[in-house]
Amino acid sequence: MPEQKETGMGKFSNLEKSLKIGELTSRNRFCVQPMECCDAEEDGNVSARALKRYARYCDGGAGAVVIESVTLQYASRSTRRQLLLNVHDPVNRRGWEDFFRTLKILHPGTVLIMQLNHAGEYSSDEWSERVCVKPKEGFGGRQIDAEYVDGVIRDYIEAADFLYRIGCDGVDLKFCHGYLGSQILRPYNDRKWKYGGSWENRSRFAFDMCAEIRRRIPDHRFLVGAKISVVEGIWQGQGNRGNETDVTESVALCRGLEERGADFIIESLGAARERWDLMAPNHGCPEHVWLHVAAAQAIRNALKPETAVVCGGLSVLGRDYGKITDFCIGDGMFDMAAIGRQVLADPDFPAKLLSGRAAEINYCRCCDACGELLIRQKPTWCIYSRL
C-alpha cells in the first residue's frame, strides 16, 4: 500500500486517510471521476459553466478531481460541445491557464488531473470526422494509419507539457470505454500495422505515450496515470478473447504503464456506447459493482505498493458506499474510491460522509438520465439534484 497518514478517527477511518500519489498527497481517498458535461464554448474553449462545475466539485471535499475527457483533436471529438485543449491557440491556452489559476487559488489542497482523450470511432461525421483503426459494425469511419497515430501521441505529449507548466497536477490517459485508446488496445485491432496485430504493437500507443511524457517530465509532482477498461465485455474487446474474459493483457498494460513511470491507475469496465451497464452499474445490474471491485483488486495485486489504484463504478452502492469502500481500502483491495454520478447528484458527498452528515446526502438513483443528456448532447446535470 502507498504511504498512509492518519488524519483522525472518524466513522470512515480509511476513507479519511491521506494518500501519497507520486510526490503529491491527496488529503483523503475520494477521487472525482472524469465526466463530460457538454458545456464547452462553441469553439471548444473552456466555459464559465465548466469552471463553476469544477469549483463546485472541489468544494465538496474530494482529495483528487479528474477533469473530464478533453479532446486534443477537435476534428474528431466525441460531442459537439466537448472541451478542447489546443496548445497552439493562444485564446484556448489562456482559458485553461485562467481555469487552473482560479481553481488553485480557491482549492490549493485539491489534486487536479485532466483526462486526455481521442474519440476515434465514437466521433461522428455529423459534427466532426469519425476515424477508426479497423471498421466495426455500427461504427466504421475513415481508417487511420501509423502517421496519424504518431501525430496523436505528439499531441498528448505537448498537452501534458503545457499542463505541467500551467499548474495542473497530472494527466489521465484515457484507455477505456471504447474510445481510441481502447480501440487500439483491443484484440479486434488485428490489422498488421505499427499499432495493431500483436500485443507489442497494440500496446505501443499507450506505452510510447506514457514513456515519452515521463521522459520529458521526470518530476513526480506532475502525475501520469491512466483510466483502463480492464474488461470491455464485448467481442474481442479489451480484456476479452472472443466473448471470454481474459485480463492478462489488461494486467500487462497496467504493469507496463507503471514501468514507464505511471503513478496511478483508475479501474473501469465496459464501453460507453456498447456496455454502459458494465461501465456504470445501475439498479438493473447492481452486481456489476463487484466486478469493478474484483478488477481493481486484480490491478492492486499486480502493481507496486506506491502506484495508487482507484476503483470506479461505485455510485450504485448508495447508502452503503462509505461502509463498503472504507472496508475495501482497509483490506488493501484498492487505494481510492472514485465518485462518478454520485458527485453529480451531490457534489458535497465526500464532505458530508466524512463529517457525519450522511443523512443530508442526495443519493444518486442511478437512473442514468445524466447519461441520456450526454447522449443527446445537452448540458449534462443530475435531474434530481437539489443544488
Q: Which is nearer to ligand FMN, 79 or 86 (CB)?
A: 79
Hey, which residues between 326 and 385 contact ligand SF4 (CB under 6 A)?
A: 341, 344-345, 364-370, 382-384
User: Is the backbone of residue 324 left (phi > 0), alpha (psi -120 to 50) or beta?
Assistant: alpha
Cβ at position 314, least distance to ligand FMN in Å:
5
Q: Which stretch binds ligand FMN (CB under 6 A): 55-63, 169-177, 189-197, 214-222?
A: 169-177
Scan residues 325-364 and list those touching ligand FMN (CB under 6 A): 338-342
Per partner kind, with CB cut-offs from 5 to 8 A, the member of ligand SF4, ligand FMN, none near residue 312 is: ligand FMN
Q: What is the rounded CA–CA span in Å between residue 92 and residue 366?
A: 34
Provide the residue count of the chain.
387
Q: HSE of 245 in the Cβ direction (CA atoms, 13 Å)?
A: 12
Nearest to 78 by CA among 375, 379, 312, 380: 375
Shortest gap between Cβ of 347 and ligand SF4 (angstroms)?
11
Q: Which stretch binds ligand FMN (CB under 6 A): 33-41, 130-138, 197-205, 324-332?
A: 33-41
DSSP tag of 316: G
The answer to whether 204 contacts ligand SF4 (rule: CB under 6 A) is no
Cell numbers given for 327: 472496508
3-state class (DSSP) for residue 307: coil
- What is d(CA 309, CA 35) in angstroms, rounded to the nearest whole number? 19
Q: Which of residues 26, 28, 33, 76 is near ligand FMN by CB under 6 A?
A: 33
- CA quadruple 117, 121, 123, 128: dihedral positive or negative? positive
Among 2, 34, 141, 350, binds ligand FMN (CB under 6 A): 34
Residue 143 backbone phi and psi in degrees, to 5:
-75, 125
316 binds ligand SF4 (CB under 6 A): no
Task: Indicate which of ligand SF4, ligand FMN, none lies near residue 202 (CB less than 5 to 8 Å, by partner kind).
Answer: none
- In this structure, what are the phi and psi dihedrals at residue 31, rounded to the nearest 5 degrees? -130, 120
- The site for ligand FMN (CB under 6 A) is made up of 33-36, 68-69, 115, 174, 176-177, 227, 268, 279-280, 312-316, 338-342, 370-371, 374, 380
